[in-house]
Chain A
Amino acid sequence: MKSSLNFGNEFIRLFMTSLISLTATLLIPESTVYAHHSTAMFDHSKSVTITGVVKEVQWTNPHVAIFINGSEGKEEASLWLMEMTSPGNLVRDGWTRNAVKAGDKVSVSFSPLRDPSKGKGGALKKLVLSDTGQVFTANIRAAERPNIDEVQDK
């Protein structure tokens, strides 16, 4: 009798644990899904340009990101997120980890998110440092040559 009671309790415990786990799984926010991602959520047929000030650069694999406080025109500045390729690919395009820093004034052209309700973001195409005029691009397909620097040096 005692054993069947234990079995019953164990069953209920297992059932409740499973139920809680299932509920937790269903409630896990999308943000916990990590990925290498396609850039199809960006509208590559469009180009938007904003000017503003860099808030933060996250120079990390697999994707670098730059947060910019800026605006398209004279409207109030707001925070924008620029997604980019990997640090390694950006180095090939002339970037370095400290090429763009928090506080830098910049002009940025990018392919915006197709769905504006997703937020203010885009895939960066070109960044210009306002103070120096230095230009950085982010197109891995435009740098498909062996020994790029040797070619540039010649």
Chain B
Amino acid sequence: MKFYFCVDHFLKQAFLIFCTSAAIVLCLITPSSAAEKLVMNPAPTAKDWSDLSNLPDWSGVWNPKVSDQDLQVKTNPPPWNAKAAALIEHQFKEDREGRPFLVFWGCLPEAMPSWMLITHNSMEILFTPGRVTMLGESDGNRIRRIYTDGRDHPADPDPTFHGHSIGRWEGDTLVVDTVGILPQAYLAITEAEGVPNNGDLHVIERIHLAAKDILHDDLEIIAPNVLTKPWKTTRIFFRQRARKFDIVEGTCEEGYVAPRVTKDGWQIFEKIEHDIGGNRIPPK
């Protein structure tokens, strides 16, 4: 019995020593490893700010040319694979019969690349050192952050609605490379025709002024799970400078409530009814 106790005691001691040693080794190794992985975004310098003045003037508010979006549905359709083509055909049929499919619902973002392809709402584009930021009208969740500080994509980006975008300037053209888009994000050609991209989506854009107040976004959409080959298309935006066009706050769900005053005098929002298409319920 005493012998067993000794062996047991010895093993416990040995285990304790092993754990303590391992902990010390980990403590010695971990800080240096973490320091190597920590990447800092440097504070912009005065030169970084002044260099922005060399970039083309994209100020103002940019409206999409919706009639050209309409036109391209017929003139430049995506090279859908068989499965996607069948779904699109079904959606067109439903649309014609007055039962439009909902590409956008639940106030989720229009996402990439549908935002650029089919939006009806304006946007503005901001330049700051190392960043181009696109802010969309109508929904508070329409934001694209394009990193122009020379970084690469993360090895395994967290999928998001707008993906991970890096950009570089080739003369006056901003070349944007976007990956890491959620597979559920739609590749849409109208608000009623589109398919989930189903993953591995890669979008390359060349954004440039085509005229003084006309911005072109030349897109190459590589969607191997829904397209048979990369799809190239251009989307056109035109500029407004009148102050009345300045983008104002917009929240998607705001349209689903109405201002009311309670009996006690409180000014509140009250939910109002909608049909499945997002329309308010018409009176009968």
Q: Using a CB–CB distance below 8 Å, which chain A residues touch chain B?
A: 29-41, 43, 56, 58, 60-63, 65, 67, 78-81, 83, 85-89, 91-92, 113-115, 118-121, 140-141, 144-150
Contacts and interface: CB of A to CB of B under 8 A. Distances in A.
A151 to B, nearest CB: 11
B248 A60 contact: no
A115 B276 CA distance: 14
B72 to A, nearest CB: 14
SS class of chain B's interface: helix, strand, loop or mixed?
Answer: loop
24 contacts: A33-B102, A33-B106, A34-B274, A35-B107, A35-B276, A35-B278, A36-B104, A36-B105, A37-B100, A40-B98, A41-B279, A60-B254, A65-B255, A83-B279, A88-B122, A113-B282, A115-B98, A120-B283, A121-B283, A141-B70, A144-B238, A146-B238, A148-B242, A150-B242
Contacts, number: 176
A92 B245 contact: yes
A72 B112 CA distance: 43
Contacts of A34: 105-107, 252-253, 256, 274, 278
Contact of A83 (B214, B247, B280): B280
Given A34-B253, A141-B67, A40 B241 contact: no
A99 to B, nearest CB: 12
A33 B284 contact: no
Contact of B99 (A29, A30, A40): A40
Given A31-B275, A61-B252, A91-B244, A38 B213 contact: no
A92 to B, nearest CB: 6
Q: Specify which of A35, A63, A113, A119 lies most central, judged by the most chain B CB atoms within 10 Å of its CB.
A: A35
A65 B107 contact: no
B66 A141 contact: yes
Given A38-B190, A62-B139, A88-B245, A144 B274 contact: no
